[in-house]
Amino acid sequence: MSILITLNTKEDYHVHCNFNNHSAPDLTIRNVIKQCKEIGLQTLALTEHVRKGSDWIPNYLKDIESCLDTHNCMRIITGFEAKILIDGSIDCPKEYSKNYFLIASFHTVYNDKQVWIEALNKAIENPDVNVIGHIAPEPTFTLEKSEVNALASLIVKNKKIVELNAKYHRPPREWIQIFKKQGVKFHLGSDAHSLHDIGRFEKISDLISLVDDASPISTTED
């Protein structure tokens, strides 16, 4: 069976702003949108880091709303990036995770493969989660092919998207091959923390080519 997937490099589904404390100071929402227009992006997802205790969320949403205009031809998605916690829950207030675009990502090293897998599985099964961000194993362990296959099956079953992340060059190539074989859907995320990084996918051109490759692949297990 030949599977053709075409990734649109004019879409960036993972962009931060300066509502966190580690992005460039000029990474305001207004500047982000201006930069996206200048480089010709068609889709922008603003996905600021969030925690359950974040008190800036209303101002963030208001800031995005104030920057939108009816003549804007670019699709703008309001969302968040939330940490996958050790129990598999998502570090985002429920009222926001339920109603906005949500990337779930690991930002803590748990040093335990089984804990990692179980937490990831729960995140994938969470109906509020739209995307699994910058996924890769921790430095202390690897996943067997059968484990990656099981992960891919769960992703497809729960209709999640896997992000090709430009900041971290993830997922691993061998995972992408397995994910593609199982019918996992992908999109691009720069994970930009500066204006310069928005929509920049040169670092993952090899991963993009791997996903877009229309060569026939077997859909049966080896």
- Given this model, what pLDDT does residue 213 score? 84
The total of structural domains in the chain comes to 1
Specify if 68 maps to a domain: yes
Q: What does pTM read for this prediction? A: 0.93
pLDDT of residue 20: 84
pLDDT at position 2: 38
Gyration radius from the chain CA atoms: 17
Is 169 part of a structural domain of the chain? yes
The pLDDT score that the predictor gives to residue 135 is 98
Residue pLDDT tens, the chain, 222 long: 334 457 999 999 999 999 987 888 899 999 999 999 999 999 999 999 999 999 999 999 999 999 887 556 899 999 999 999 999 999 999 999 999 999 999 999 999 999 999 999 999 999 999 999 999 999 999 999 999 999 999 999 999 999 999 999 999 999 999 999 999 999 999 999 999 999 999 999 999 999 998 654 444 343
Number of residues that this document lists for the chain: 222
Instruction: Answer for the pair 82, 45: CB distance below 8 angstroms, yes or no.
Output: no
CA angle centred on 213, ends 212 and 219, rounded to 5°: 105
Q: Is residue 220 part of a domain?
A: no
Q: Which domain holds residue 108?
A: 11-212
Give the residue among 118, 58, 117, 123 at the shortest CA–CA distance from 90: 123
Q: Given this model, what pLDDT does residue 191 score?
A: 98
Q: Which CATH number does the domain housing residue 201 bear?
A: 3.20.20.140
Distance separating alpha carbons of residues 64 and 56, to the nearest angstrom: 13
pLDDT of residue 73: 81
Number of H helices, E strands in the chain: 7, 7
Whether 70 is covered by a domain: the verdict is yes
The answer to whether the bond into 171 is cis (omega within 30° of 0) is: yes
Asked whether residue 219 is domain-assigned, the answer is no
> Which letter does DSSP use for residue 218 in this model?
-
The answer as to whether 41 is a domain residue is yes
Is residue 2 in a domain? no
Alpha-carbon torsion (134, 135, 140, 142), positive or negative: negative
